[in-house]
Amino acid sequence: MFFETLKEVFQTFGSPVFVPVIIFIISKILKVNNKKAFFAALYAGVGLEGFTLLLNAFTPIITPVVKSMVENTGIQLPAFDVGWQATALVAYSTEAGMIFLGVGLLVQTVLFLTRWTDVFQPGDLWNNYSYMVWGSMIYMATKNMILSLGCMILLNMYSLLIAELIAKRWSTYYKYPNCTIIAMHNIEAALFTVAFDPILNAFGLNKIKLSPEELQKKLGFFGEPVSLGLLLGIFIGIMGNFKALGTLAAWGQVATMGIATSAIMAIFPRVAGLFAQAFLPITDAAKKSVKNGSKSRKWYLGVNDATGYGEPATLISGIILIPIMVFMALALPGNQVLPVVDLLALPFMVQGIVPLVNGNIFKVLITGTIWFSAGLYMCTYTAPMFTDICASVGVHLPVGALLITSFNILGKPLMGLVFLAFLSQSPVLIGIAVAVYLILYVLFRKNKEAVYDYLDQSALKNTAEEAKSEITA
């Protein structure tokens, strides 16, 4: 009953209500006056609700276009991607998922208060479903709730470590003071990016300037975010209507897609500006406490990844990856997954990559293609188990599908390895998963500032200024 009530309360109010409450409480702890604390909280709620309204308006426009694009390829694969929304509903409907709803909140709060992590995760409780799905599959396979909870908790701790790893870069790049995203399914690619980016630099790919700013310089008014959104939307619209371009309806959809994408590019920064205002009083109060000699802890609030969706490099990279991943699904040997619904989530999925390469769209596309392609294989492996869970909570298979999956949630190679360790029930493999986490955690915490400096310097290698200095040298 407690977990059902907790679920109902959160689903009723959601992030646009929870985050403002957290912001107000934190503001008062930092001795911000009532007026500033109130408006900080209100701007947070307005910003989050604005992001939701934008995405809810954009999704019905792009969804039929993407589905048509996939249908036009004629791909026939047994595992159908039903999307993260359906996966979330399944996760919140399982016994293991409901138990973790309470346990996870407790663990996340304790980890922050004990300074194990400097990321306050309860600001985005909704995305806990990412852990719930993996834990629910463990419980269905083993009937061992302790094993299931252990898997979810360890995944949560890996997720917090990655969130803290990218926190400074994410906050700086997206211009949200003291914020980071914590959704495991959208930050996991960051670890691969940190390891893979030096290889791309060794081949000189950082010198290929394909950031929104560089596009604007090179393309003139066609490089403006609004114009890029129009062109990108028209391109995707044509891809989705390729077999019907002789009809008026097709060109109507193409034009609508172009204007809608352009609108996201134009409106999103304004909503982002409102959301960013919520953190100014907290930042100012923290700076004053340092000047007054008080010990100030540098921490980051976990926010929903909708906050980065419409940033130009993020949206452009995500949308261009849509046809790329459809092609990869067709070309990869042994892949059984047809990505469909979660193709719309690609602008969410690249947020673990974009800030680390400083918005270099070319590098985002290469990194994303490789890592998300590996994710298709993890989806292929877990699809039978996920299908069984969906059946147990009354979810029916789409017509023509033998299996179902979620490209965004289950296409996670690293987190999938942790899942497989617990699925094996082998103390040795589980111990290795725990040991790897502890080693990474200790190395990061001991060298945190050095790691942040390294990530900043790596990101700067993608800017025009860095390239000029290299040429001069």
Of 343, 274, 405, 399, nearest to 59 by C-alpha is 343
How many structural domains are present in the chain? 1
Residue 471, in any domain of the structure: no
Residue 467, in any domain of the structure: no
Provide the pLDDT for residue 289.
55
Q: Give the Cα separation of 38 and 390 in Å (integer).
A: 42
Does 295 have pLDDT greater than 50?
yes
Provide the pLDDT for residue 400.
63
80 Cα distance to chain centroid? 21
Provide the pLDDT for residue 84.
86
Q: What is the pLDDT of residues 64-87, one digit of tens each?
A: 888 888 888 787 888 989 888 888
Provide the pLDDT for residue 123.
65
Residue 256, in any domain of the structure: yes
Residue 452, in any domain of the structure: yes
Q: What is the pLDDT of residues 399-411, one digit of tens each?
A: 666 888 999 999 9
Residue 141 buriedness (CB in 10 A; 0-12 / 13-18 / 19+): middle
Confidence of residue 207 (pLDDT cuts 50, 70, 90): confident
Residue 156, in any domain of the structure: yes
Percent of the chain whose predicted confidence (pLDDT) is above 70: 90
Q: Which amino acid is at 346?
A: L
Provide the pLDDT for residue 159.
96
More confident residue, 235 or 220: 235
Does 470 have pLDDT greater than 50?
no
Q: HEC string of the chain? A: CHHHHHHHHHHHHCHHHHHHHHHHHHHHHCCCCHHHHHHHHHHHHHHHHHHHHHHHHHHHHHHHHHHHHHHHHCCCCCEEECCHHHHHHHHCCCHHHHHHHHHHHHHHHHHHHCCCCCEEHHHHHHHHHHHHHHHHHHHHHHCCHHHHHHHHHHHHHHHHHHHHHHHHHHHHHHCCCCEEECCHHHHCHHHHHHHHHHHHHHCCHHHCCCCHHHHHHHHHHHHCHHHHHHHHHHHHHHHHCHHHCCCHHHHHHHHHHHHHHHHHHHHHHHHHHHHHHCCHHHHHHHHHHHHCCCCCCCCEEEECHHHHCCCHHHHHHHHHHHHHHHHHHHHCCCCCEECCHHHHHHHHHHHHCHHHHCCCHHHHHHHHHHHHHHHHHHHHHHHHHHHHHHHHCCCCCCCCCCEEECHHHHCCHHHHHHHHHHHHCCHHHHHHHHHHHHHHHHHHHHCHHHHHHHHHHHHHCCCHHHHHHHHHC
Provide the pLDDT for residue 28.
85
- Span 311-323, average pLDDT: 93
Does 136 have pLDDT greater than 70?
yes
Residue 469, in any domain of the structure: no
More confident residue, 463 or 462: 462
Angle at 278 between CA 273 and CA 348, to 5 degrees: 60
Bridge partners, residue 300, by sequence: 119
Provide the pLDDT for residue 72.
83
Q: Which of 286-300, 412-426, 434-448 has the lowest mean pLDDT?
A: 286-300
Q: Give the Cα separation of 195 and 380 in Å (integer).
A: 25
Q: Which amino acid is at 172?
A: T
Q: Which of 38-47, 167-176, 228-237 ranks highest by mean pLDDT?
A: 167-176
Provide the pLDDT for residue 150.
96
Percent of the chain whose predicted confidence (pLDDT) is above 90: 48
Bridge partners, residue 301, by sequence: 120, 179
- Span 105-111, average pLDDT: 90
Q: What is the pLDDT of residues 35-60, one digit of tens each?
A: 888 988 898 888 888 888 888 888 88
Cα separations in angstroms, 61 against 56, 154, 256, 310? 9, 38, 8, 15
The residues, ordered by sequence, that sit 6+ positions from 240 with a Cβ below 8 Å of its Cβ are 64, 65, 66, 67, 68, 69, 72, 253, 257
Residue 317, in any domain of the structure: yes
Edge-to-edge strand ranges of the sheet holding 119-120: 119-120, 300-303, 179-181
- Contact assessment for residue 27 and residue 43, using Cβ atoms and an 8 Å cutoff: no
Provide the pLDDT for residue 296.
64
Provide the pLDDT for residue 468.
43
Does 273 have pLDDT greater than 90?
no
Provide the pLDDT for residue 286.
62
- Span 164-179, average pLDDT: 94
* Boundaries of domain holding 394: 1-290+299-462
Q: What is the pLDDT of residues 432-454, one digit of tens each?
A: 999 999 999 999 999 999 999 99
Rounded to the nearest integer, the mean pLDDT of the chain is 87
Q: What is the pLDDT of residues 354-377, one digit of tens each?
A: 999 999 999 999 999 999 999 999
Residue 377 buriedness (CB in 10 A; 0-12 / 13-18 / 19+): middle
Does 94 have pLDDT greater than 50?
yes
Provide the pLDDT for residue 473.
32
Does 265 have pLDDT greater than 90?
no
Does 309 have pLDDT greater than 80?
yes
Residue 330, in any domain of the structure: yes
